[in-house]
Amino acid sequence: MNAIEFIISGMLAAATPFLLAALGELVAERSGVLNLGVEGMMAFGAALAFIIVYNGGGHILAFLVAGIGGVLLSLLFAFVALGLRANQVATGLAIGILGLGLSAFFGKPYESYTIKGISKISIPVLSDIPVIGGLFSQDIVVWLAILTSAGLWYALTRMKAGLLLRAVGENPKAVNSLGYSVFALRIGAVAFGGLMAGIAGAYASTVYTPLWADGMIAGRGWIAVALVVFGTWMVGRVFLGACLFGAVSLAGIAAQTAGLSIPSQILTSLPYLVTIVVLGIISSNKRLLKLNGIASLGETYK
């Protein structure tokens, strides 16, 4: 295996934690709610999932409970930010800190323990192609994340529920006047965001890096939030951004092992730079940006 094969085979798995969390945040933001607690919800999910797998509960239960954990935190957010109409940014930050604290609390007895990850599923024939074959040998969660992206794209552009969700983000009054509950729609979207963040955390702690260490999410939730904004709330771009980020961060490591004489600090910052530049160029059309921007994002609906 050379450096190129290493990047190609690893980029989807590297992108998955970002992708899952970003898809959830995308749905929440599409409904007009800015939940900045993604990092904390991921960490909480990661801790719960690790504890379950470590105690022999298996990965399916672990992902389920991690998702529920994320939902609970997001509902707490919804209660304060939507129910009590508190500032969404402040509430999101508080929930994020709470999630990190809870993950440290529950994870404490498991500090630096390791578990077994899950095996990969290879697509026959495709995975035997030289160089790019590794792309088709991934664990089940990666495949599901890709399917979820596709499904979400379809739902947001072709299905009534998706269009309704977008409408709530653009003009909640109009949706309300049609007889829908803005509150219920937004709670649903926020809960979905929590679910995905919890699952993203579970992936990080039980599949991608099967060990528990306090603080192991290490800012990945924030990158997910940034990906949503730079991807201008479009599923395809967020998917692309996540893959790009994964690929470039692996490329930075591979470049070091290959002995390229680029300072490692630059290689470390490369994923951020490349993702910002590429997504920035893609979304540089001002008219489209205005069109894609969510009109009521972060605003309290009364």
Residues that bind other proteins (CB under 8 A): 1-3, 5-6, 10, 14, 17, 101, 104, 108, 111-114, 117, 204, 208-211, 213-216, 218, 220, 249-250, 253-254, 256-261, 263-265, 268
Cα dihedral 294, 172, 42, 104, rounded to 10, equals 120
Instruction: Give the nearest distance from C-beta 215 to other proteins in angstroms.
Output: 6
Q: Which residue, 67 or 134, has its beta carbon nearer to other proteins?
A: 134
Q: Are 148 and 23 in contact (CB under 8 A)?
A: yes
Contact residues for 274 (Cβ-Cβ < 8 A; gap 6+): 244, 245, 248
CA–CA dist 274, 244 (Å, integer): 8
Question: Of 14 and 23, which CB lies nearer to other proteins in the complex structure?
Answer: 14
Q: Where does residue 32 fall: left (phi above 0), alpha (psi -120 to 50 degrees), or beta otherwise?
A: left
- Rounded least distance, CB 74 to other proteins, Å: 23
Q: Which is nearer to other proteins, 33 or 216 (CB)?
A: 216
In this complex, which beta carbon is closest to other proteins, that of residue 268 or of residue 285?
A: 268
CB of 123 to other proteins, least distance (A): 21
Q: Which residues contact 182 (CB under 8 A, 6 or more apart)?
A: 168, 172, 175, 176, 301
CB 276, min distance to other proteins, A: 18
Q: Residue 10 or 172: which CB sits closer to other proteins?
A: 10
Q: 132 and 10 in contact (C-beta within 8 Å)?
A: no
In the complex with other proteins, the residue whose CB is nearer, 190 or 223, is 223
Min separation Cβ 274 and other proteins, Å: 16
CB of 1 to other proteins, least distance (A): 4
**What is the token pair recorded at 173?**
């009054």
Please give the single-letter amino acid code of residue 146.
I
